[in-house]
Structures are given as C-alpha cells and as structure tokens.
Amino acid sequence: MLTVEEALEQILVRVSRLGPERADLLACLGRVLAEPVVASSDIPPWPNSSMDGFALNSGDTLRATPDHPAELRVAGTVPAGAVAAHQIRPGEACRIFTGAPLPQGTDSVIPQEEVDVLTGHIRVSRPVAPGEFVRPLGEDIKAGERVLEAGHVIGPAEVGLLATLGRSRALVFRRPRVAILSTGDEVVDLGGQLAPGKIRNSNTYALMAQVVEAGGDPINVGVAPDRRDAIEERLRWGLSADALISSAGVSVGEYDLVRDSLGQLGAELHLWQVSMRPGKPITFGSAGGCPIFGLPGNPVSAMVTFELFVRPAIRKMAGHLSLHRPTVRARALSPIPNPGHRRAYLRVSVTADARGYAVRLTGNQGSAVLTSMVAADGLAVVPPDTTVPQEGEVQVLLLKPPASQNGAA
Ligand code: AMP
Ligand code: MG
C-alpha cells in the first residue's frame, strides 16, 4: 500500500496548471497572477501634501522663532483634486489640503494646528524642513517598476494596488471547475424524501464547500445509485470538468462499483488504497486529461482525503506555488492514541499559548462523525501503533488559524 507522500506525488505529477484568463479585479481575489504587473506611472504622480495646512517655501522660515515668527501672505488655496492656479513667490504661502499637489514655488507643508492664522497672513514660529509633510512623487511606486511578480496571490492589498495603477482587470490562472458525484443507493439528496435505510447526502455539499475554499468552482452532478449504468452516466458528465470527484463505492464490497465504472469509461487508474486512517480506499485515475478522485464514502474520510490529496491538486491547477496546509509541531494536552497499523489523521482543536501550539482530540474519531470534524482546527498526524503521551510532541496539519488561549486572534 502506498504512503500518503507516495500517493500525493503520483497525483501531483499528473495534474497541471490551467491556462490564464483576464478577470475583473474582485474576481481575482485569492487567485494567482499569470504575468508580472509593471507600473505605467509614478504613484503618487506628483508631490502632494500629507496634512491640511499651508504649503510654503522652507527657505522663508529659516530664522522663524516664537518671538520672531515668519509672516507669510496667503496667496491662494488648493483643495484635493485641484491644482494651484499660480506659482507661490518668496514670502507667500498657500492654503493646502491633504492629497492636494504642492504648488509651484513651495517645498514643504506646515500643519494648520501649528500656525497662527490672521486675515490674509499666517505666522510660522519655527523653521520648516524642506519636504516636511510632503509625499514625494513616486514615493510608493516608480514608473516601470515590477510591482507584482507572476505567481503572486491576489489579496485585498493587491486589489488596491491594481486599482491605484488604473487596472480594472488582471491576468490570472483559471479556477478549476470541479465536478462532484455522490454514489450510493442509500443516499438521498436535499429536498428528497427520506425513508427507512436512507441517509442524507452530506458529502456533495461538504466537498463543494471544500472545492470553493481550495479555489475551485464546484459543479454538482448529483447522486447515482449503486448501478453501473447510472454511475457511468454521471461520471461521463463530470469528465467534461477540469477535475472530477466521486464519493463512496470505492471499497471492496459488491456494491462498490466506482472503480469498475471508471474502467468502463476508459479511465486509467493510477492508484488505489493509501496507508492512512481514515481514508484508506482512496482511488485516483484520469481520463482524457481529467484527473479523477474516488474518495471514500464516510463523510470524514471524504473530507480528510480531500484535504490531503484533492486540495493540493486543485491549488496546483489554479497556479498556486504553495500547495499545502501549514504544519506545526504541537504538544498534546491529553494522550492521542493510534492503535491502528496505519498512520492516523486525527481531528484536534488547536490553541496557541506562550509555549507554542497545543492540541486536544475533538471527540469521537469515527469516520462518520462529522461533529468532531466541525470542532477540529487541525489534523494530528500520528504514526502507526503509537500513542502520543500527554505533553508529547505531535505534528499537526492546520485547517484553520488557531485560536489563542486568551481569545485574541
Ligand atoms: P461506501 O464507501 O459506499 O461503503 O460508503 C461508506 C459510508 O459512507 C456508508 O455509511 C455510506 O452510507 C456513507 N455515505 C456514502 N455516501 C454518502 C454521502 N453522499 N453523504 C453522506 N454519507 C455517505
Ligand atoms: Mg456504498
């Protein structure tokens, strides 16, 4: 049986980055730039005031003191959005507001709180340094500068930067469209009628949410009963997406028909079964360049195998360079047993305190118990036949940013 690392490697070598497309700024959020961004102009495009006050020539204030203030004639006003009408001459100042361009003939600004304002004049009682309260031309960005590299992930600040440069769109890698199929005679979709022996379809919805969180666009191809023709039909629909995920029907029972159906469709199966718990029966294949993930049916097994194998693949397709969740070392607040012969991924809550990260099992680790997944901030990775003792160290995959002990972020 393959290790998790071997399986992941097999998967990632068979998954490639999608092509780029131009997208509106907000639609770029969380996506990866496909080309560098080069500034076409200086930002700010002209020296401007960082305060409401008076623009002046610093040379006029060289000898100013409280006893002998410099008296300057106010020769105009320049609000933000306007340009001073004429040059300011020696012995003059100009009323100025935050963001307004510095008038010709001035080199500095004194905040209004610091001057005595008389009719038509101001008194300045200290020397003002050249450049004081002035934001110089190109302070933030120089024309021609590469401000973002290809491969950079667009966050809110990048959106602001692009807007500053006048860009309403950017070239980013496509979001993978990921088809999701649930299988099982017992599985009833939302809106359908439950009957004895039947359960709700939760996998489709949890997996769609995981796809969105990973940066993909989910496509729900519904629920197929445990019948070859029905499974094949919906798998065929799903194969037109950039990737396909199925859940259930990949174990060894007579009703586990997903692998057979994939074979019927001409898919190549690259791996089946990975030495882990939960999630052992995971299957990976491909057909016509579409990667196919056959995830186990138990809700937590499906979610955990998505985290370990599908999420990195989706991120690679979306052009991300960093594919994996962060892992940290943490100390166990109570013993974490793994009596099984496979590596375990156990649901834990994670806190951060002065001694570092600390983890505790979130409760029942059954692979159908979703409530302990809800409570989990991470997955503790425990080697086979091992119990991590209380205060012992364990590796943890962080699924959410950990809460700090005192409740602060
Ligand atoms: P299987 O892999 O088909 O043996 O399914 C394993 C377990 O997962 C069974 O208890 C199924 O009822 C359950 N299961 C399968 N599909 C879903 C689904 N879409 N939503 C919730 N549970 C499911
Ligand atoms: Mg089944």
Q: How many structural domains does the chain have?
A: 4
pLDDT band at 135 (very low <50, low <70, confident <90, very high): very high
Residue 322 lies in a domain: no
> Same domain, yes or no, for 180 and 310?
yes
> Same domain, yes or no, for 84 and 162?
no
Q: Is 258 in the pocket of ligand 1 (CB under 6 A)?
A: no
Strands 48-49 and 134-135: antiparallel
Check which CATH number belongs to the domain holding 164 and give it.
3.90.105.10
Tokens matching residue 214 = 């990973």
pLDDT digits (tens, 9 = 90+) for 48-97: 999 999 999 999 999 999 999 999 999 999 999 999 999 999 999 999 99
Tell me which of 317, 346, 369 is where a domain ends. 317
Q: Is 248 in the pocket of ligand 1 (CB under 6 A)?
A: yes
Res 329: pLDDT = 98
> Same domain, yes or no, for 180 and 313?
yes
Share of the chain above pLDDT 70, in %: 98
Nearest CA to ligand 1 atom 5: 297
- Residue with the bigger pLDDT between 406 and 353: it is 353
pLDDT digits (tens, 9 = 90+) for 265-319: 999 999 999 999 999 999 999 999 999 999 999 999 999 999 999 999 999 999 9
Check which CATH number belongs to the domain holding 210 and give it.
3.40.980.10
> Same domain, yes or no, for 289 and 190?
yes
Task: State the ligand closest to the CA atom of 298.
Answer: 1
Res 409: pLDDT = 46
Residue 154 lies in a domain: yes
Q: Is 251 in the pocket of ligand 1 (CB under 6 A)?
A: yes
125-150 burial by CB neighbour count: b if 16+ within 10 A, else e?
A: bebbeeebbbbebbeebeeeeebbeb
> Same domain, yes or no, for 97 and 214?
no
> Same domain, yes or no, for 123 and 25?
no
Tell me which of 135, 164, 194 is where a domain ends. 135
> Same domain, yes or no, for 56 and 187?
no
Tell me which of 135, 158, 190 is where a domain ends. 135
> Same domain, yes or no, for 253 and 374?
no
Q: Ligand 1 center to residue 204 CA distance, Å?
A: 11
Structural domain boundaries, residue 334: 327-404
Res 402: pLDDT = 75
- Does 406 have pLDDT greater than 60? no
How far apart, in Å, are the Cα atoms of 342 and each of 5, 273, 307, 383, 392?
13, 12, 18, 7, 20
> Same domain, yes or no, for 166 and 31?
yes
- Does 200 have pLDDT greater than 80? yes
Q: Is 182 in the pocket of ligand 1 (CB under 6 A)?
A: yes
Nearest CA to ligand 1 atom 23: 297
Residue 140 lies in a domain: no
> Same domain, yes or no, for 305 and 238?
yes
State residue 354 phi and psi, 5-degree precision: -60, -25
> Same domain, yes or no, for 355 and 295?
no
> Same domain, yes or no, for 165 and 179?
no
